[in-house]
Amino acid sequence: MRLIYFIYFILKSDYKQIFQALKCLKGTKNPFTLIMDAVWCSLKYGTSLDDYFSFRFYAKTTHQRRSFATTAYMYNFHKALNDKEFKLKIDDKSQFRKYFAQFSGDSEVFASDNQQALILWIKQKELKELVIKDPLGTVGKSIHFLTFDHSKVLFSYQHKQLSLGELFRQFSKQDKVYIEPKIKQHPEIQKLAPTALNTIRVITVVRKDGNVDIISAAFRISVNSETDNFSTGNLAAAVDISTGVVISTGIKRLAACSDIYERHPITGQKILGFKVPHWGKVIALVKEAALVFPQVRTVGWDVAILEDKPIIIEGNPSWNKGAPQIPMDKGIKPLLDKYLGKNGI
């Protein structure tokens, strides 16, 4: 099985990032030795080639390497805990809106055969800034930011003006447009990182007894980007589950090339020690959401913090293993192991 994973990793690896990591480590590590070790770790631990450099396996002991939840491990973990028939109800943003409306912001889905309903919705709510998403988009892809001119009834997108028909032709998926108002985040978070909506990735697991565990929380921090996704070059920092205080420095996903940031590199605002507002409400919110479909036992919830409350932007049943492990430079496999098997909790 590990050989099959290895072949998959060879085919799917981001070689641009791998070569970048080798370049960053040049002078401290022999590139040939690194590649051979990365191949060995892939066959031994199920790491992708990207994992090797993001988890800094080149600087880890055997014991430390064994503690990391790698790509191969996470595939099996998600498969074991999440019922595939229910996953789409969370993954698909259209269905997410239907089942999780009480936890999320104001978003809607409009069909191509009723385009005027979109204009009516925008005008009734007096909206100007809008976000369009692909219902099945991931890692910040297929997110588009627009403004609406009420007097001209035109949308502005990347310095172009679009009519209603052009909007649907360009952005509709399966003859539908998924759209929401641009969210205004908490002033303290806006001060820290103003270019995007910065979310907290909170990971839950529903235990067999029906209780919900919070196993990880990470603050995703944008750096001159319209999105906060860790996978696209922004920062992540670990959040203490009990207090909501950031307990690690910020770091980029490709840790082999990343500096560590006690302060935001652009705004200069403090990351380490930042207190996430409304933390008690965040915990209560995700625990309640986790029980909507307990058949999907583990979900990574992206939580936005508004001035008066938190809301859930989306849920990710196949959450990425990077943000829970890279900022603390520590593996979570022992923590996840206890949920697996006949004797798992």
Q: Residue 189 in contact with residue 264, Cβ under 8 Å?
A: no
- Side chain identity at residue 115, one-letter code: Q
Tokens, residue 273: 């020690």
- Side chain identity at residue 237, one-letter code: A
- Side chain identity at residue 307, one-letter code: E
Q: Which CATH architecture has domain 83-92+186-337?
A: 2-Layer Sandwich (3.30)
Task: Give CA–CA dist 218/201, Å, rounded.
Answer: 5
138 pLDDT above the threshold of 60:
no
- Residue 257: the pLDDT is 96
Q: Residue 277 in contact with residue 284, Cβ under 8 Å?
A: no
Q: Which of 228, 250, 237 is nearest to 324 (CA)?
A: 237
Report the range out of 2-16, 123-137, 223-237, 268-282 with the highest average pLDDT: 268-282
Residue that wins the pLDDT comparison between 69 and 12: 69
Q: Provide the mean pLDDT of the chain.
A: 94
Q: Which of 178, 257, 192, 261 is nearest to 228 (CA)?
A: 192
**How far from the centroid of its chain's Cα atoms is residue 241's Cα?**
17
- Residue 40: the pLDDT is 96
209-262 pLDDT, tens digit per residue, is 999 999 999 999 999 999 999 988 999 999 999 999 999 999 999 999 999 999
164-222 pLDDT, tens digit per residue, is 999 999 998 888 898 999 999 999 999 999 999 999 999 999 999 999 999 999 999 99
3-state secondary structure 190-206: HHHCCCCCCEEEEEEEE
Task: Give CA–CA dist 128/287, Å, rounded.
Answer: 33
The length of the chain is: 345
Distances (CA, A) of 5 to 37, 49, 73, 75, 298: 16, 11, 10, 10, 23
- Residue 174: the pLDDT is 82
Q: Residue 31 in contact with residue 22, Cβ under 8 Å?
A: yes
Task: Give CA–CA dist 217/239, Å, rounded.
Answer: 5
- Residue 142: the pLDDT is 74
41-92 pLDDT, tens digit per residue, is 999 999 999 999 999 999 999 999 999 999 999 999 999 999 999 999 999 8
What is the rounded average pLDDT of the residues 313-322? 96
What is the rounded average pLDDT of the residues 123-128? 94
Residue that wins the pLDDT comparison between 134 and 318: 318
What is the residue whose two structure tokens read 């099985």?
Answer: 1
- Residue 139: the pLDDT is 54
5 pLDDT above the threshold of 80:
no
260-277 pLDDT, tens digit per residue, is 999 999 999 999 999 999
The model's confidence at residue 141, banded by pLDDT at 50, 70 and 90, is low
Classified as helix, coil or strand, 225 is coil
292 pLDDT above the threshold of 90:
yes
